[in-house]
């Protein structure tokens, strides 16, 4: 573990990366900066972005919806979560989400910060307008196998996905 350092970032500040599962991540706090305690990134996604059913064996994941709306399934229970709402998937719990609004902006907090390498390997620097590329679930799955931190359990669990 490294020593944590102070972090101050304004709106829109932070490294921007196109995640091949869909969405642009703006990194607000990295594992190196927090001494491995957590990672925090903002995820800007368009309508229809859907994750496969997955779990994080050694990481708890909290989502805070800053803007828009998502449908989330955690442990087999489906809920709609809008602006100001929060979800929590304890480590090892199967979960997935789908964006149901035109745009959603979600803060993702993972504790501890041990799964950062998965996200970095499944992404690349975003282009100037904040959007880039197509969804590449194969790259996401390959990163999960190489880096751990995420287990892909199956297709999206939503009835209309």
Q: How far from each other are the two terminal CA atoms of the chain, in whole angstroms?
A: 40
| Most distant CA pair in the chain, distance | 45
Taking the whole predicted model, whether its pTM rises above 0.95 is answered as no
Q: 96, 112, 15, 33: which is closest to 63 by C-alpha?
A: 96
Backbone angles phi, psi at 142, to 5 degrees: -65, -40
Query: pLDDT truncated to tens, each residue of the chain (161 aa)?
Result: 579 999 999 999 999 999 988 899 999 999 999 999 999 999 999 999 999 999 999 999 999 999 999 999 999 999 999 999 999 999 999 999 999 999 999 999 999 999 999 999 999 988 765 555 677 888 888 998 999 889 999 999 997 65
Complete domains list, the chain, with CATH: 17-126+133-151 (2.60.120.10)
What kind and span of H or E run contains 120?
helix 116-121
Distances (CA, A) of 9 to 21, 29, 41, 108: 25, 9, 11, 16
């Amino acid at each position: 573990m490294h020593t944590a350092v102070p972090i101050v970032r304004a709106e829109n500040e932070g490294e921007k990366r196109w995640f091949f599962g869909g969405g642009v991540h703006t990194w607000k706090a990295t594992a190196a900066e927090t001494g491995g305690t957590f990672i925090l990134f903002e995820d800007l996604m368009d309508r229809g972005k859907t994750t496969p059913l997955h779990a994080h064996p050694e990481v708890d994941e909290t989502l805070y919806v800053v803007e828009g709306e998502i449908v989330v399934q955690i442990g087999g229970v489906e809920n709609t979560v809008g602006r100001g709402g929060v979800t929590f998937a304890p480590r090892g719990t199967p979960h997935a989400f789908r964006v149901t609004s035109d745009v959603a902006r979600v803060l993702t907090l993972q504790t501890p910060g041990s799964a950062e390498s998965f996200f970095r390997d499944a992404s690349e620097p975003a282009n100037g307008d904040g959007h880039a590329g197509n969804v590449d679930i194969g790259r996401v799955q390959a990163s999960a196998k190489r880096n751990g931190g995420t287990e892909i359990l199956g297709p999206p669990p939503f009835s209309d996905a």
